[in-house]
Structure 1
Amino acid sequence: MSSIFTKIVNGEIPCHKIAEDDRFLAFLDVMPLVEGHTLVIPKQEVDYIFDLEPDVLADLMKFAQSVAPAIKKAIPCKRLGVTVIGLEVPHAHIHLVPMNVMSDMNFSNPKLRPSQEELAITAEKIRRS
């Protein structure tokens, strides 16, 4: 059965895209820790990030690195936190989280529940940056 991220890649589930190429996709988390929380995934469905081929893993990080400046410019923050947890969706992914304090990266914090309109505005702001 396809993961929710594969369904997003296939266009079966909509998302708020930040960037995309033939192998990778970056889109907003619909239940973010903070505004601008972005997920970066390989389009290839692989459950565990360290099961990716080494060159794919390296290119995934390079793709995330190319997305990061736009997030940081659009969402004022001190840093972009980067984490790989991988328990909630069985599809390799990287979290890019704008952060001003360490607790912004605490995944135990309550998640925000932005509207689709708010997510669309944030995605557009990031894409324009």
Structure 2
Amino acid sequence: MSSTASELVADGGAAVDDLSAMSIIDALHAANSERPGQAWTFQLNPADVRAPRLTVGLNADRGFVLWEHGVEALRSAGGTNTEWADYWRGGHHFQMDPGSEIPAPFVFAALGEFLATRERPTCIGWIEEP
């Protein structure tokens, strides 16, 4: 049974195989307008803990991107936040490190690239998670 993009956004993310990239991005734009400070995880195969997943957070005009694949964990580089950034994912508190928040258009670009290629986005810089 596939989820709708709206359900995916409400749940904090899920498998994305049955949803179009545009429906997911549209749903996140709406969610960011209605309730900034949210995060979502997009997975290719939730049953496989080694499968690639991309977590994105949006807080009005900024956000973050987190890539996980097996033991590799990278976060968006070049962010301007000097303090920890607070987000909520699926009702749970989620914090990102200082320096991880980038402009929202880059978050959307990275998500769009991931949904199109199923690979780590190349349109943003990355730094290893501490």
- Could you state the TM-score of these two structures normalised by the residue count of structure 2? 0.34
TM-score, normalised to structure 1, is 0.34
Whose relative contact order is higher, 1 or 2, with alpha carbons under 8 Å and at least 6 apart?
1
| Structure in which a larger fraction of residues adopt helix | 1
Which has the larger strand fraction? 2
